[in-house]
Structure 1
Amino acid sequence: MGEALEDSKQTYRLQGLSCTNCAAKFEKNIREIQTVNDVQLNFGASKLTVIGEATVEQIEEAGAFDGIKVLPEHQRIEEIKIPFWKKAENKNTMTSLVFLIFGYVSMYSLGDNHLTTILIFALSILIGGFDLFKVGLKNLTKLQFDMKTLMTIAIIGAAIIGEWSEGAVVVFLFALSEALESYSMDKARRSIRSLMEIAPKRAFVRRGDQEMELDVEDILVEDILIIKPGQKLAMDGEVVQGQSSINQAAITGESIPVLKTVGDEVFAGTLNEEGSLEVKVTKRVEDTTISKIIHLVEEAQAERAPSQAFVDKFAKYYTPAIIAIALLIAIVPPLFMGGAWSEWIYRGLAVLVVGCPCALVISTPVAIVTAIGNAAKKGVLIKGGIHLEEAGRLKVIAFDKTGTLTKGTPEVTEIKVFNNMDESEVLGISMAIERFSQHPLASAIIRKAEEKGISLNDYSAEDFQSITGKGARATVKDTMYYIGNPKLFNEMVSLPSSVQEEVKTLQNQGKTVMLLGTKQDIIGLIAVADQVRDSSSKVIRKLLDIGIQKTIMLTGDNQATGQAIGKQVGLSEVKAELLPQDKLETIKSLKEQYGKVAMVGDGVNDAPALSAATVGIAMGGAGTDTAIETADIALMADDLNKLPYTIQLSRRTLGIIMQNITFALGLKLLALILIVPGWLTLWMAIFADMGATLIVVINSLRLIRVKE
């Protein structure tokens, strides 16, 4: 039986989870359910995983103190949006404010100790603080000292010593800041919610001879989706009929629509702009790219960043210390220094209020949640707070060449003719031979011939034979032609010095040269190169401008090609002719020398180097499971321009976290200093605490506005 419980795992979404302290208490309450083995609560994503057995009713009872609603993960929820001012708790806050104002009017006209004044302030306290007292008093009976317990003690204490007006102001400010904090956190979480709403929940499907509208959960692999212009795709799949421009911004962050034709991959959540499409479903709804992104973003927001781990550890010792200080301030001066009990109890209560660690505890998670959500909307998948922080500390960035700095598809750049033939004839003969070859360079020649309108009917090859490592030969129009590298022709004829010079010049430019000829003559040459991405040099320049000390290319290609591309894009250094283990050793060496090093690659051949780097960054995460799984950060659009944005977002996040921690601690320190001369009032204390929390949240929300 125990084993069955251990294997049982349920995931839920939460509504009404208001603060980090409440989350910790909620998690603790669930752990106390006897049939529960473990609990994982993701505050940023409002998500709960229970390992063991617990009913929804039991879990909701554990969160009843905060009004938490529990819903199964995949249950479709129609969220009712209630305006800020119409929420019941916010109406109570405004009613409390009305009585607070009447209380001050009564105080100035009738006096602060008049029964009418006290009753009005008491009504303000009860209406605004009813939910607070309900939880605070319950916690007090269990000796659980969280924020609401400390507030309850402070307000009851204020009433006992006759500070009714102060108590009413504290209740109103606390209720107002709770409402604003809840609103701000909800805004931060909206980045995930908007991701979840990208893909439609239903779609038109053809299954056999029947067409029907189905929920996405009921759609099977191999079903055919029918997508009309202006509709969003509900599932990942492959186009089987039609062509259209697809806006992939939701998945990859690309603003320009991409033309998709038969055989192309398409993703759930993308928008079909023009034509009608038929798409064969290739993945179940839980396996789509958007589902993976949502899952990884939620996991990333749950993972504790180094700064958050420090803050959590600090807060653990900080809260008991504050309670001890408040107790000493309230008791020691009256007992041993002849101080007035009412005055020093008041000061002790002020310490309790100002000492709440709320702003400090929330200083890091809200910034991490906001930054990771912003990045996901821009097509950058960051797999955890630790990777977000590390990206801001990078000193060196190493790049793979093929598919990273270059497009990864070779193109013909030059055609030279050495006899009476013309260019189209050289290209036609070469195409006829290379159509039988599997070499990547062969596809470049065929593409070039097709561009020039040369047909395979004009040139046909017979008796094709591959010459391993050197080239190929075949008979075209009754003549035996050879195509291959210069080494092949050196063995057959003596290359003229003019041809040798031409070959050397092109090779120094980073191009691969193939010669075409017979056993007696060199007819022409074709130069092929992997084209550098248009964005590469601009991105390298931008990285150096924002303070990256060194950019280095690690490639398995030859030295001449590597150096040529390195010079073209403006890299600091090039290391060529490297095997995967050489790349790994280079990354280790760079880490020893500079500390923080990133590796940018395609996530397939560069896996060892990506995992060894401080931050592994994969290109083209959309549609590439390996890239998403291997790397710490995936650039979904296969777009290098996202790299400087990611580093700047990371630096802004680090800066905002530091501002938040400094502000939260600094304001509390200032407030504690004001207690010594007796200048700190209870309402100033609550303003210092709740104001700090609110400012920390609002400061973190600035990360939503970080642009590329």
Structure 2
Amino acid sequence: MALNNKVALCTMAEQLVELNVTGMHCNNCALSIHKLLEKKGLNNILVDFAGEEVKFSNNSTVQLPEIIKGIEQLGFKVVDDPALHVPKFYEQVENKFVFCAIFTAPLLMHMVLPWHALHMPMVQLLLCLPVFIVGCLHFGKSAFHSIKGGVPNMDVLIFIGSTSAFIYSLVGTIQNLGEQYQFYETCATIITLVLLGNVFEKRSVNQTTSAVKDLVKFQQVNANRIIDGTVEVINSRDVRPGDILIVNHGDKVPVDGDILEGTAAVNEAMLTGESTPVDKVKYDKVIGGTIVQSGNFRMIATKVGSNTVLSQIIELMKKAQAAKPPVQKLGDKVASIFVPAVILIAAITFTATYFLSDAGLQKSLMNAIAVLVISCPCAMGLATPTAVMVGLGRAAKNGILIKGGDTIEAVASTKFVVFDKTGTLTTGKFSINDIKVEDGVDLEHIRGIITAIEERSNHPIAKSLVDGLKGLPQTKLILKSATEEKGLGMRAEDVNGNTYFLGTGKTANEDDFNLSLYKNQVLLAQIAIDDTIKPEAATLIAQLKNMGIIPVLLSGDRKNRCLKVAKTLGITEVHGDTLPDEKLSVIDIYKQKGKTVMIGDGINDAPALTKADVGVSMNDASQVAIQSARVILLNTDLNSVVKFLQISKHTLLTIKQNLFWAFAYNVIAIPVAALGFLNPMVGALTMAFSDVVVIGNSLRLKRKRLD
């Protein structure tokens, strides 16, 4: 088998492997594969049934073909690419259902029509046999391998129930025991209705993963590459770093890169959720998958393949969908012991009905079969992951990237939202109000030092300083090195060995000047800078208060400036002049009082983002802040914060609703079936649609009002 699976070497002894596996339809399937891989001694196992992916690291002597064989023996199939894999006609569950329905319909009709032929045992046997064979191949194979793998699944119950009805009827036919032994229609109907449920379940699960699939479609584009003055059309997967590409009006940008020539308005809605096009000019960065609404440009490819922003977002979403919230552990635990428990209940039902009442063999068997076919462990297995997938997808379409499904539960009862000031509540676009130089120091020389140092930083303040001094007279300075210190500023050394420090801190002694420049530890100048509050910040703070959440301002900026911003926005809890280690202490205090979310954007925020229950980073934040956060706001509009909290709240609510339905359904349905109040065919129909109810409730999240 030639497989296009991803295999990466991690160490000399360890491989990271990713397999595409089809045929998984609920969490029980994922548990079967997970248990198999654990038995083989594999590590870092991740099984995503909806994304049809299996990942693990192999540090043992187990060969990949042996692992693939084990997975396929469980009844699943390892393929090159699920998107390109087309199952054989007879393997498709829709075709199995149609085939079975054709034979099941006449069997059901004999119950209402007086046609003599339909009442003949041999005719019913011949009509039921093809359906039973399909059931054995579909459910029996899966049931056998799931038991062999140590995680019995729902198919075990369906197989036992349908086989019991078939064998009971077959014995009655062979021994000519009469109509009271003819239950071929029960056997066929159970199989057909459960296949119908599988059809709906498959389509519904596909809808829950539509967000990731929509993003994948953005990757499937062609690129116009320039080679020796001619343009050739290639697949975006074949683009290499350094390639020169032409992107025209209406095209999708094939990969990440920088514009070399031309201008365009680019729709970045797939990335940020913001539909207003962004104007791009020479030297601006463009992201693969975004759409050129007007204009055209020539670009150089900088990031391709798995290194593009879009690929990393897709990978992040897949990992997030597989990350289990704590609330799922209960469902998983029950689902793992559910099937053996139901078989035991069915056996007790048969025994009790047969020996303790006058119901007889027929009634006892039908009650036991009803217990088997109405039970549904899949509903419990689907309750959490489907809701998480839809919730994460809705968040992504609103420009909110959540790194883990467990994050959703972590913010459900948020009590405090702690904000950094600069670049979070404020625009981060600073203007220089004044530069105060010390006696005997040349202003142009100061400007040159500031520009040389701040060009080496990505901090919003640094970028604003460089932009603000651009075009003004200044004496250039050549630096040998420059380093950024968290929460303090920049340290540098020029080619002559002079050392410089430019930054904030508790040494500044004048309220209007919040940056100081030192040369060889001697003060050269003080700089007064200021930025503006984001227009939506006040509305956000008011909304948080209405939600019962306490907003907190935590910043390394001067205390008086923090108080000024806090007063404007209505924030009463303020912590200014804080260094990174002090921010950790403040976050720790709030965490002891209740669930705490931290929102920031700078390197100095990274430790606090990690320390908080949930760290939220702005898209234009430093890379360190983005890596430290569990949530990234791709759209810098602060309204995304409320949207994130609302989506998380309603996703958790949906999970609880799903779990309640799954548990309540089984708790009520199983005793009703055991007491003989439920026909097995009605039980099969109810079971077939119990999964659809759970998935349908999850899909409501796509369009549900969140306020």
The TM tier, using the shorter chain, reads 0.7 to 0.9
> CA offsets, 1:389-441, max 9 Å, x none?
212221110000001001112136899xxxxxxxxxxxxx9999857644988
Shift of 1:127: 4.4
Distance 1:45 1:396, change over 3 A: same
2 CA distance for matches of 1:107 and 1:461? 97
- Aligned to 1:172, which of 175, 192, 199? 192
Q: Give the conservation status (yes or no) of the 8 Å contact 1:37–1:51.
A: yes
Q: Where does residue 547 of structure 2 map in the other structure?
A: 546
2 CA distance for matches of 1:290 and 1:305? 25
Q: Where does residue 482 of structure 1 map in the other structure?
A: none
> Secondary structure at 1:241's aligned position in 2?
strand
2 CA distance for matches of 1:64 and 1:640? 50
1 CA distance for matches of 2:476 and 2:419? 42
Q: TM-score of the superposition, structure 1-length normalised? A: 0.79
1 CA distance for matches of 2:53 and 2:263? 39
Identify which range, 14-23 or 64-73, moves more after superposition.
Answer: 64-73
Q: Does 1:346 align with 2:366?
A: yes
Q: Where does residue 273 of structure 1 map in the other structure?
A: 293
Distance 1:209 1:304, change over 3 A: same
> Secondary structure at 1:532's aligned position in 2?
coil
Q: CA RMSD in A?
A: 4.0
> Secondary structure at 1:665's aligned position in 2?
helix
> CA offsets, 1:510-531, max 9 Å, x none?
x9799xxxxxxxxxx9985211
> CA offsets, 1:250-300, max 9 Å, x none?
122222111122222221111122222222222232211111111111111
1 CA distance for matches of 2:626 and 2:673? 53
Q: Does 1:49 align with 2:55?
A: yes
Q: Where does residue 175 of structure 2 map in the other structure?
A: none
Distance 1:240 1:81, change over 3 A: farther
Q: Where does residue 644 of structure 1 map in the other structure?
A: 642
Shift of 1:228: 1.6
> Secondary structure at 1:397's aligned position in 2?
strand
Distance 1:327 1:442, change over 3 A: closer
2 CA distance for matches of 1:585 and 1:680? 61
Alignment of 1:630-641 (within 5 A): 630-641=628-639
- Aligned to 2:162, which of 150, 155, 160? 155
Letter in 1 for 2:537: S
Q: Does 1:133 align with 2:136?
A: yes
> Secondary structure at 1:242's aligned position in 2?
strand
Q: Where does residue 59 of structure 1 map in the other structure?
A: 68
> CA offsets, 1:345-393, max 9 Å, x none?
2212211222231111111111112222222232211111111221222
Q: Where does residue 68 of structure 1 map in the other structure?
A: 77
Q: Give the conservation status (yes or no) of the 8 Å contact 2:383–2:695.
A: yes
Letter in 2 for 1:598: V
- Aligned to 1:20, which of 20, 27, 36? 27
Alignment of 1:240-389 (within 5 A): 240-336=260-356, 339-389=359-409
* Overall identity of the aligned pairs, in %: 27
2 CA distance for matches of 1:210 and 1:695? 56
Identify which range, 154-163 or 88-97, moves more after superposition.
Answer: 88-97
Q: Does 1:9 align with 2:16?
A: yes
Q: Does 1:105 align with 2:89?
A: no
Q: Give the conservation status (yes or no) of the 8 Å contact 1:252–1:637.
A: yes
Q: Give the conservation status (yes or no) of the 8 Å contact 1:157–1:346.
A: no
2 CA distance for matches of 1:644 and 1:407? 18
Q: Does 1:561 align with 2:561?
A: yes
Q: Where does residue 576 of structure 1 map in the other structure?
A: 576
Q: Give the conservation status (yes or no) of the 8 Å contact 1:603–1:630.
A: no
Q: Where does residue 680 of structure 2 map in the other structure?
A: 682
1 CA distance for matches of 2:140 and 2:462? 79
2 CA distance for matches of 1:648 and 1:436? 47
Identify which range, 157-166 or 259-268, moves more after superposition.
Answer: 157-166
Q: TM-score of the superposition, structure 2-length normalised? A: 0.79
Shift of 1:198: 0.8
2 CA distance for matches of 1:461 and 1:91? 76
Shift of 1:213: 3.6
Distance 1:331 1:196, change over 3 A: same
Q: Does 1:598 align with 2:611?
A: no
Letter in 2 for 1:619: M
Q: Where does residue 4 of structure 2 map in the other structure?
A: none
Distance 1:330 1:313, change over 3 A: same
2 CA distance for matches of 1:701 and 1:616? 27
Count of matched residue positions in the alignment of Structure 1 and Structure 2: 628
Distance 1:123 1:702, change over 3 A: farther
Shift of 1:86: 11
Shift of 1:337: 5.1
Distance 1:585 1:463, change over 3 A: closer
- Aligned to 1:672, which of 635, 660, 670? 670
- Aligned to 1:195, which of 215, 221, 234? 215
> Secondary structure at 2:615's aligned position in 1?
strand
> Secondary structure at 1:45's aligned position in 2?
coil
Shift of 1:118: 4.6
- Aligned to 2:419, which of 383, 399, 404? 399
1 CA distance for matches of 2:143 and 2:250? 58
Q: Give the conservation status (yes or no) of the 8 Å contact 2:43–2:57.
A: yes
2 CA distance for matches of 1:194 and 1:597? 33
Shift of 1:171: 2.0
Greater radius of gyration (CA): 1
Distance 1:628 1:528, change over 3 A: closer
Letter in 1 for 2:154: M
Letter in 1 for 2:98: M
Distance 1:154 1:599, change over 3 A: same
Distance 1:569 1:133, change over 3 A: same
Q: Give the conservation status (yes or no) of the 8 Å contact 1:11–1:72.
A: no
Identify which range, 629-638 or 137-146, moves more after superposition.
Answer: 137-146
Distance 1:326 1:81, change over 3 A: closer
Unaligned runs of 5+ in 2: 1-8, 169-180, 436-441, 455-460, 478-487, 489-503, 517-525
Letter in 1 for 2:573: E
2 CA distance for matches of 1:653 and 1:221? 40
2 CA distance for matches of 1:576 and 1:448? 26
Q: Where does residue 224 of structure 1 map in the other structure?
A: 244
Identify which range, 530-539 or 327-336, moves more after superposition.
Answer: 327-336
1 CA distance for matches of 2:357 and 2:50? 48
Alignment of 1:77-88 (within 5 A): 78=84, 88=92
Shift of 1:552: 0.5
Unaligned runs of 5+ in 1: 416-428, 470-484, 491-502, 515-524
Distance 1:225 1:141, change over 3 A: closer
Letter in 1 for 2:137: K
> CA offsets, 1:221-275, max 9 Å, x none?
2322222222111111222222222111112222211112222222111112222
Distance 1:325 1:526, change over 3 A: closer
Identify which range, 151-160 or 430-439, moves more after superposition.
Answer: 430-439
2 CA distance for matches of 1:277 and 1:618? 31
Identify which range, 610-619 or 671-680, moves more after superposition.
Answer: 671-680
Q: Where does residue 93 of structure 1 map in the other structure?
A: 97
Q: Where does residue 497 of structure 2 map in the other structure?
A: none
2 CA distance for matches of 1:461 and 1:146? 74
1 CA distance for matches of 2:669 and 2:476? 91
Distance 1:324 1:55, change over 3 A: same
